[in-house]
Amino acid sequence: MANVSLAAATKTFDDDGDKIVAVDELDLDIRDGEFLVLVGPSGCGKSTTLRMVAGLESPSSGTITLGDEVINDKTPQERDIAMVFQSYALYPHMTVRGNMAFGLEESTDLSDAEITDRVDEAADILGITDLLDRKPGELSGGQQQRVALGRAIVRDPKVFLLDEPLANLDAKLRAEMRTELQQLQEDLDTTTIYVTHDQTEAMTMSDRIAILDGGELQQVGTPMECYHEPANVFVAGFIGEPSMNFFDVTNEGDVLVGEDFRYPVSDAAAAAVQGHDDLVLGIRPENIEIVEDPMADDVLPAVVDVVEPHGNENAVHLRFADQSGETRFTATVGGMRSLSGGQDVGVRFPEDALHLFDGHSGDALR
């Protein structure tokens, strides 16, 4: 079994006498064969977590288990884990074949023929057989990335660790490689931990996402769970593009009162937020309904500021009408919908699409 468990894994660094808690009591189980994406903003502790699993950093406290064996004290070579870095880290003077074979020659007692077979097989899987005699300098970024993956695959490890492997590629190639990598992981069925700060990669590639902020785990779940049932304001704002809209509101029984609007809620919603006076109301841009008539029933009158066309959909930036006009928000509508700046409209926030969070802790209430 190649499941990986982190139990209260903590890593602190000393920065000229200041203690930096890079990873804070992280509990996380990655299942055998799972593709888990670790995601979060810069500095949230993703790479440090991965490096602890790889054995490149030792935890300050807590345990890391592979299968049923605690691996805290094992060297990287003893862990049967292969890591792929953003920088590819290829040897420039060696051919592609040499780069892919190098780790095997160094750390295994496979025969030359067995190593050749493994390299040929990995090259075939990755579609780089034609490149085996070239040097890294003669390859495109995407090809170098495949070689870096090939070097991990030939080792047939229990676990793959990938640290922002697509970050150096252009947007089109990144999108292609996303699909390829996902397919590859499915075919190889190797437990994979993948680090990125890109929520699109996290959403599209993973079986489950673990979202970190400030060294602390915010939520772990399938992409759809994190999207539809975010555990807190941080996750709600991090997952989804354009981001969820947030409004500070006070709870006045069955009415949520924002700076520029009043929103009557059902008994069920009122019950969910009972006892919480300050709230954050969240709604995703695609859940906001825009109607042309600002005087229609159940609408909040609003004004279109700017329409940003994205082809298949438009992002519509709005503000509430007739009020101080400070609260701005974004809705998405179909690309064929014609709305223009300055237009008066009505907006509806369907209650079943509302997210309500405690204003102090940020935790989801419904």
Q: Which residues bind ligand ATP (CB under 6 A)?
A: 13, 15, 20, 22, 40, 42-48, 197
Taking a C-beta distance cutoff of 8 angstroms, is the pair 216, 185 a contact?
A: no
- Min dist CB 197 to ligand ATP, Å, is 5
Residues in Cβ contact with 64 at an 8 Å cutoff, skipping those fewer than 6 apart: 4, 5, 6, 7, 9, 52, 53, 70, 71, 72
When the beta carbons of 19 and 137 are compared against ligand ATP, the nearer one is 19
Radius of gyration of the chain (CA): 25
When the beta carbons of 13 and 91 are compared against ligand ATP, the nearer one is 13
- Looking at residue 149, its amino acid is L
- Min dist CB 243 to ligand ATP, Å, is 19
Q: Which two tokens stand for residue 168?
A: 């150096």
When the beta carbons of 211 and 256 are compared against ligand ATP, the nearer one is 211
Between strands 208-213 and 35-39, the pairing is: parallel
When the beta carbons of 9 and 104 are compared against ligand ATP, the nearer one is 9
Between strands 159-163 and 81-84, the pairing is: parallel
When the beta carbons of 41 and 335 are compared against ligand ATP, the nearer one is 41
- Min dist CB 328 to ligand ATP, Å, is 29
Determine the Cα–Cα distance for residues 13 and 243; give it in Å rounded to an integer: 33
Determine the Cα–Cα distance for residues 135 and 347; give it in Å rounded to an integer: 58
- Min dist CB 42 to ligand ATP, Å, is 3
- Min dist CB 136 to ligand ATP, Å, is 23
